[in-house]
Structure 1
Amino acid sequence: MRRDHVALSRATGFGGSVLIAAGGLGAGALPVGIPFFAGGTNAQIGLVAVYSGLLLLVLGWWWYGKTGHFNSAAGRDEGGGGAADGWRTLALWSAPLLFTPPLFSRDVYSYLAQGQMVDAGLDVYHVGPSALGGAIADQIPAIWLDTPSPYGPVLLIVARLIAPPLTEHLLLGVIAMRLIAVGGLALLAVATRTLARSAGVRPASAAWLIVLNPLTLIHFVGGAHNDALMVGLLAAGLAAAVRRRPVVAVVLVVAAALVKAPAVLGLAAVAAIWAHQINGRFPRVRATAAVAGTAGVATALITAAAGTGYGWILALQTPMSPHNWSLTSGLGRVTASLLDGGISATLARDVWRWAGLLAMLIVAGLVWTYRAKLGPVYGLGLVLSAVVVFGPALRPWYLLWGLAPLAAAAVDQRVRQIFAGVCVVLAVAVLPDGFAPDANRVLLATIGGLIGIAAFITVRISSVLLTRAGALAQEAR
């Protein structure tokens, strides 16, 4: 009956995705100025539907993992663990999210605006979307209207290709950016299996933890985040490295870093992998020099192809929201309030950010010390996770930066369980419109979550009863 349970768990997740997509029509990050997307009752019903679906998707994912026996040990995949089953599940759980308004964030509108700005000849690294104006700029929160782009030239190349022909068709632009994100997710899915085999981890276990993860699906597909492209390129680069294609690996990792800068840390992992593959004296020095030289050439060529210049280097200093989820920013705000004006909030945040940087360096130092035991891919996952936890900006989907290599390389089941649990918490932490919650909407979300849990319990009880009935029928024959 295991196959029946796999099918039921897959169907449960699919039902959850359908509810999330349907609820997004009323409660998502809806475009401004399109009469069809109105608030009011539709938003309230949509919020309940999204959270009902979210809990169904999370619980279906848990059930699918349990039924498929996705432990980390290498070996034959049981139950629903085959590659074909994984792709089928990914398609089912992703498809409903493709054609709904943006979910859990409005960032995709910024990508489209920046693509139009580049096409119009505006310097996205010096002016914000307010310089563009129009329907796309109307979709962007006021706090970001005058903020230059924090993204690299690879994203701008993609956005420039998509945005101009879709100026009058906003939702088609969103779907196009979402398909780019799905492409990144597909890259991640293929690369994860390669990396997992190399690390002695069961490929299906790795795919379950990162590719089928509800946090991945709702933010990479539903939110159409450029992080999907960054993580997909990074994983593909690491996979190329373990398959002894170091130059391809460096180019892919550079492309990932020219979407979002944190991926540049992947070059250290590529250098470490390359060093183990070459003979002769000073392999680490030679590999590092080769990676640095190749990365420099690739960066110059990609930047030249984008035609946006090197303003992206200064864009690394683009300010973050002072109220983001960052641990160090939060501690800075608390410190400033406790001192009651004795220290400015800006100074407090700066002190804690330097402390966060120190914490990152300590983690990196420990990873370097135990590099032989951890391996380059696992070590990269730990360092990227430290960057997320101790960095100056934090959003739930940032956790996926480090989880991608960890899912493929972490053999310790406790590490995998901790990350899975954190993902579950973060998956329900952001409302579908991407804005801060209030008491009424938290209540509606809670009601929706309880409905989802009740529906899941009903399915589980029904599956147990059907299993027992089938067993009794066999005994009676």
Structure 2
Amino acid sequence: MPATPSIPRFSTERASVPAVTTRTVQTTPSLASPAAPATAPRRLAALRAGVPLRTLLLGLGGMALLTVGGVGAGGTLVHDPLLADSPLTWVRFGHGKDLATAVLYGGLTLVVWGWVRLGRDVRAGTVGTRGMLLAIGVWTLPLLLAPPLFSRDIYSYLAQGNLALHGLDPYRVGPSALPGPLSENVSPIWQTTPAPYGPLFVLIAKGVVAVTGDNLITGVVLLRLAMAIGLGLLCWSLPGLARHLGGSAPSALWLAAANPLLLVHLVGGAHNDLLMVGLLAAGVLLVLDRRHLVGIVLVTVAVAIKATAGVALPFLVWVWAARLPGSAPARFARATAAGLAVVVGVFALCTLVSGLNLGWLPALKTSSAIVNWLSLPTAVGQLLHTLVNLLVHVSDRWFLRITRTLGSLLLAVVLVRQWWAARQGGPEAVRRAAIALLAVGLLSPATLPWYFSWPLVIGAALPWTGSALVLGTLGSVWMLLVTFPTGDTALYSWGYLAVTLAASVLAAASLISPDPLRLSRRTPAERDRPRVIELAP
């Protein structure tokens, strides 16, 4: 990550519940006017606390359209009890589904537009931490009631919880072992696949199914609400992480928590990654705040949701060791011993409470069934197979096996090198942990677009240059769009990918230029006079 920020930094505001009022204010250019020097600081403070009303409504309207369009174009149910015998059943088929898809993509357009506008305000220093939290909260609300968007994984979660509820081991059998409404909505590729998730998450899914039974609609909403705790933890953690890592709190919240990649895929798609990254961010912050034991407990709980969070644990040991007295070897030994004791104890407790075993660890290899070129080793294997296939027809199995094995070896080298480079502890160790999580996303045998939220939730709190933010915007929007609303991958639909790349470039350019296509007739001064939601102290 770049070491020199080009965006403004602000201290974290108090997390009190603000009153919300609406009024029209002048923006920063007019604050510099000599005619009103006495009111300039007050107006600037109000702008930093609030969020432009138009931007807020753009995001809210976009999320509402996503929710409505998802009823016909998202990860719909095989048998929908709400629409099965109603006049609205047409939205699932033919022209009705086409219309629903158009509504959904219209919503995506508004969401990205609102996010980019908000990013410009953050970079200008006119939206602060409280304004960002307001925008994130408002934009999230419609997604809590949406059908699964861009994924069907939540049906797998519920089916695995159903297996555990009925005494079957979800680490040994797949959803098809218990036929019924829950299993019939699981994607075919995962029907016979054991759960690769930690025991605590299976316990959560089991509890949800115990309450909702075979009612998939309430099951989806309740499980999504449980995982949305992760978004709350993330919003709580990012300002503190920015304080430690040298970034800007509003910028960190914009880049991670308000990012459509995270909101649409992790909240709307309802992935358990949301709960994992929230616990991970909170744990890292507590370790940086010198609450080492509690921090490592939270990161271990994140591992009990999904194993990826475990990548950060060895880096946090260096942070702890750097603060202990004694020689370097002695400090490392003490921190490692204490950390291992916490990890083993917490994980053993999660496993015992869940009534499960360690069968999820060998089940992690089932993710290799995902084949797409977002994984660099998989991309190399597919490219080599395509070239060889021009001369002789052969299976791609060995190409993928060899390149994925080499990729795993390279990943191991990268992780070790990053861990060793972090031995001085402090914020540098956390930065190295973010790089390690990015390497996991790039070099693992299987990668999905939302996996890049793993490094982002920590890396967003680092200093970002303007050019880095533009690239981050481009990558986030493109990753958002490379999956179809039904959950199927779009990574081999080359015409569609060309359109999404153009849209992503436009969004990135709009972060630094309000009108990159020069379509607006409004002057810059007119564009800089927004109606603002002001948060009273």
Identify whether the pair has TM-score above 0.5, normalized to the shorter chain.
yes
Contact conserved, 1:156 with 1:306, CA < 8 A, in 2? yes
Q: 1:467 aligns with which of 500, 515, 526?
A: 526
1:432 aligns with 2:485: yes
Q: Secondary structure at the match of 1:133?
A: coil
Contact conserved, 1:6 with 1:79, CA < 8 A, in 2? no
Moved more, 387-396 or 43-52: 43-52
How big is the shift at 1:12?
1.6
Identical aligned residues as a percent:
34
1:401 aligns with 2:448: no
Q: 1:53 aligns with which of 89, 93, 107?
A: 107
Q: Deviations over 1:237-276 (max 9, x none)?
A: 1011111111111111111112111110111122111112
How big is the shift at 1:39?
2.3
2-structure distance, mates of 1:212, 1:469: 22
Matching residue of 2:34: none
Matching residue of 2:474: 421
How big is the shift at 1:412?
4.7
Q: 1:40 aligns with which of 94, 107, 120?
A: 94
1-structure distance, mates of 2:209, 2:119: 38
Q: Deviations over 1:167-213 (max 9, x none)?
A: 23211111111112211111111111111111121111111110000
Contact conserved, 1:377 with 1:409, CA < 8 A, in 2? no
Tell me the TM-score normalized by structure 1.
0.88
Matching residue of 1:360: 411
Matching residue of 1:222: 268
2-structure distance, mates of 1:398, 1:275: 29
How big is the shift at 1:464?
5.1
How big is the shift at 1:347?
1.9
- Unaligned runs of 5+ residues in structure 1 are 71-77, 472-477
1:317 aligns with 2:365: yes
Contact conserved, 1:322 with 1:329, CA < 8 A, in 2? no
Q: Deviations over 1:127-161 (max 9, x none)?
A: 10001110111101111101111111011111011
How big is the shift at 1:235?
0.8
Matching residue of 1:339: 388
Moved more, 299-308 or 363-372: 363-372
Contact conserved, 2:244 with 2:427, CA < 8 A, in 1? no
Q: Deviations over 1:25-67 (max 9, x none)?
A: 1111101111246222221111111112212211211111111
How big is the shift at 1:333?
2.6
Moved more, 364-373 or 354-363: 364-373
Matching residue of 2:428: 375
Q: Deviations over 1:68-124 (max 9, x none)?
A: 226xxxxxxx31113x21221011111111112100000000001111110000111
1:470/1:309 CA distance change after superposition, 3 Å: closer
Contact conserved, 2:73 with 2:92, CA < 8 A, in 1? no
Structure 1 segments of 4 or more deviating over 3 A?
Answer: 2-5, 340-344, 410-417, 436-443, 460-466, 468-471
Report the count of equivalent residues: 458
1:18-417 alignment runs, 5 A limit: 18-34=64-80, 35=84, 36=89, 38-69=92-123, 78-82=125-129, 84-281=130-327, 282-324=330-372, 325-340=374-389, 344-368=395-419, 370-371=421-422, 372=424, 375-417=428-470
1:272/1:126 CA distance change after superposition, 3 Å: same
Moved more, 3-12 or 223-232: 3-12
Contact conserved, 2:371 with 2:446, CA < 8 A, in 1? no
Contact conserved, 1:367 with 1:374, CA < 8 A, in 2? no
Matching residue of 2:35: none
How big is the shift at 1:442?
4.8
Moved more, 314-323 or 339-348: 339-348
1:198/1:120 CA distance change after superposition, 3 Å: same
Contact conserved, 1:185 with 1:220, CA < 8 A, in 2? no
Moved more, 124-133 or 427-436: 427-436
Contact conserved, 1:238 with 1:269, CA < 8 A, in 2? no
Moved more, 224-233 or 341-350: 341-350
Q: Deviations over 1:353-411 (max 9, x none)?
A: 12212332343344245435971111111010011011111111000001111111345
1:374/1:196 CA distance change after superposition, 3 Å: closer
Tell me the TM-score normalized by structure 2.
0.79
AA matched with 2:351? T
1:301/1:469 CA distance change after superposition, 3 Å: closer
Contact conserved, 1:407 with 1:416, CA < 8 A, in 2? no
Q: Secondary structure at the match of 1:435?
A: coil
Contact conserved, 2:300 with 2:310, CA < 8 A, in 1? yes
AA matched with 1:285? A
Contact conserved, 1:129 with 1:145, CA < 8 A, in 2? yes
How big is the shift at 1:427?
1.1
2-structure distance, mates of 1:291, 1:133: 42
Structure richer in helix, relative to its length: 1
- Unaligned runs of 5+ residues in structure 2 are 1-25, 28-46, 531-537
2-structure distance, mates of 1:33, 1:60: 35
Q: Deviations over 1:296-345 (max 9, x none)?
A: 11111111111011212222222432533422223223323332357642
Contact conserved, 2:176 with 2:183, CA < 8 A, in 1? yes
1:394/1:97 CA distance change after superposition, 3 Å: same
